[in-house]
Amino acid sequence: MLPIDAAAHSNRWRRRHPSEKAALGFGLTLCAVCLPPWPGAVLVAAATLTVLLGPAGVAPRHLWRAFRIPLGFCVTGAIPLLFQVGGPEGFVTFAPGGPVRAGELLLRTSSASLGVLLFAFTTPVSDVLPRLVRAGVPAPVVDVALVMYRISFLLLDAMSRIRQAQAARLGLTTRAAAWRSLAGLGATAFVRAFDRAQRLQAGLAGRGYDGTLRVLVPEAVVSRRFLAATGALLTGLVAVTLVLERSLP
């Protein structure tokens, strides 16, 4: 199991209804995208970090390990805004106002990523997918997503074991050996994926599969107090951003 999935299953908000956490997480993400980067995105990021590390109880090291990957994409997307191609000063030069635009993009994307991580760290995928049928998503689509989600962990575990076996047999000592081991790992994972799929299909057929996977969904009641607090937080962020935008230079 991935660390973020393990954290979601052991989170203190685990028993809350997914719609509550979706309203909070995606609401913060929407605020990060729609509000001005300064000071809106900064306020949203601060509020999201406070919720993650405080009421949600996410460990800082787990949050950083999950956040550094989207942060890398955010930085990579902001760097091209620093430069311009062509012009009288040269083929590649610094763009006028590039640092400002790059900083604004970095603030928006990083704070929006934190909002998505808030939902991911507090809500297991197994709690969300079965409820999508009630929201109007076709049941076959949800069933395929459930099967792919469950089988992905089996494949990740198999790949980890294969990688350990290759390292124990000195398959990573040189660059050429590492490339051969990587090719073997990909081929073995491809074959095992088909084997797992065939075994899963045979198992479902033996259990009378009729086109719908029936799973137990934990009972959860939507808390009006939680939704009210979420609305108050989002409204407060918007109001404070608009006030500070007028007062700050």
Mean pLDDT over 49-73 rounds to 89
Distance CA 4, CA 60 (A): 12
Residue 232 above 90 pLDDT? yes
What is the rounded average pLDDT for all residues in the chain? 84
The structure tokens listed for 7 are: 């954290």
The pLDDT, as a whole number, for residue 216 is 67
Highest mean pLDDT among 78-92, 109-123, 161-175: 109-123
The share of the chain scoring above pLDDT 70, in percent, equals: 94
Residue 228 above 90 pLDDT? yes
Cα dist. 151→155, 165, 238 in Å? 6, 21, 42
The distance of Cα 179 from the centroid of its chain, to the nearest Å, equals 30
Orientation of helix 139-168 relative to helix 175-206, angle to 10°: 140
CA angle (107 as vertex; 103, 111 as ends), nearest 5:
170
What's the whole-model pTM score? Answer: 0.77
Residue 87 above 70 pLDDT? no
Q: Which residues pair with 92 in a beta bridge?
A: 85
Mean pLDDT over 88-101 rounds to 79
The pLDDT, as a whole number, for residue 211 is 64
Mean pLDDT over 85-98 rounds to 76
Distance CA 175, CA 43 (A): 47
What is residue 170's three-state secondary structure?
A: coil
